[in-house]
Amino acid sequence: MLAHRAKPVVFALIYLALRRVLELIVLVCRNQEAKELEILVLRHQVAVLRRQVRRPEFDAADRALLAALSCVLPRDRWPAFFVRPETLLRWHRRLVARRWTYRAGPGRPRKRKEIRELVIRLASENPTWGYRRIAGELQRLGTDVAASTVWAILKDAGIDPAPRRAGVSWATFLRAHAQSMLACDFFTVDTVLLRRLYVLFFVELASRRVYLAGVTTNPNGAWAAQQARNLVMSSQDAGKQQLFLIHDRDTKFSGAFDAVFEAEGMEVIRTPVQAPNANAIAERWVGTVRRECLDRMLILSRRHLEATLREYADHYNAHRPHRALDMEAPAPKRRLRVVGKDPPSVRRRDVLGGLIHEYETAA
């Protein structure tokens, strides 16, 4: 393979050398003044090209010829070359290495693909396991792999060592405590008469179920605290217990608002400044309700907005599928699984005057 690739380079080098020999013969026949004048012109042209071309491109034949000429030209005259002396020396070492390169032997065989995938899987699913711990687990499973081999596999896959992988990120923390976490936030809606309304909502991180707390034009701390009391009382009636509450640093979430949840044994977590991703599920619901509902209709008044959001929240909680829930709704009213080759009879129900459609199988 190497010999096949080297043939075009050798032919190009022979052709280039032949051209230079003929040019040298022509130069010998010229007088000294013409040679010096031509050298002066060529030097000026090279200076112009150096100002315009930052990095010239050389093919293999050019590199070979310049490397060979560097062995003949004195070192104090090397600035005449386009490239630096280090580059010429590197080209020469590359030529020597190619001259004495032999076909490599088979070497150590690579580990089977199944073993590599198993090592990467164990490292991904267990961030605190080091390469020795993974090697021990593989030995317990009947696969004898050296710890150094496990380390090499993890390094080739770009997986950091155990201390770097074991750090708890914000996403990992949310996934671990999603069952006991509640998030809340405000968003605004402008009516037809340009009156701004504020909506407070809560969302369960695990089930994605949304609770509409209230709509107001004056969202002060006292109003938000009262909505928090209403939510706590309804949660007690339903028998639900949450341990954490996430919200941003908005001044509407006052100390009285946090005290309502702290009295129930919940810990209030404030997100960092200008970090919406820390409350990503609440932010995602705001974008969803805007795209699917509020951006497609005009709101007339506060009562109109409350009725609209209430109807959409029922659709969101009871019917709309979610990818995070394996395409299930947060609190589905009916779960039907039709088994058969023939498509079932489907019935449509309009929501929000036909803005959204719900489909279910006919009885």
**Quick one: DSSP state of residue 100?**
T
89, HSE (Cβ side, Cα atoms, 13 Å): 5
The pLDDT of residue 166 is above 70: no
Highest mean pLDDT (candidates 30-44, 79-93, 124-138) = 124-138
pLDDT at residue 111, rounded to an integer: 60
Q: Is the pLDDT of residue 273 over 80?
A: yes
Neighbours of 152 (CB within 10 A): 15
The confidence score (pLDDT) of residue 116 equals 86
197-215 pLDDT, tens per residue? 999 999 988 888 999 999 9
pLDDT > 90? residue 259: yes
If one compares 44 and 213, the residue with the highest pLDDT of the two is: 213
Among 34-43, 127-136, 178-187, 266-275, which stretch is predicted with the lowest mean pLDDT? Answer: 34-43
Average pLDDT over every residue of 123-152: 83
Residues 291-333 have pLDDT tens digits of 999 998 999 999 999 999 999 999 999 888 888 777 888 888 7
- Alpha-carbon distance of 72 to 67, in angstroms, equals 9
Cβ neighbours, 10 Å, residue 49: 11
When mean pLDDT is compared over 180-184, 204-208, 288-292, the highest value belongs to 288-292
- The rounded distance, in Å, linking the Cα atoms of 323 and 284 is 13
pLDDT of residue 61: 73
Collapsed DSSP state (helix, strand, coil) of residue 219: coil
Does pLDDT of 1 surpass 50? no
> CA–CA separation, 143 vs 138, rounded Å?
5
Q: Write down the pLDDT at residue 294.
A: 92
pLDDT digits (tens, 9 = 90+) for 51-66: 676 677 777 777 677 7
pLDDT at position 202, please? Answer: 94
pLDDT at 37 over 70: no
Contact 282, 183 (CB under 8 A): yes
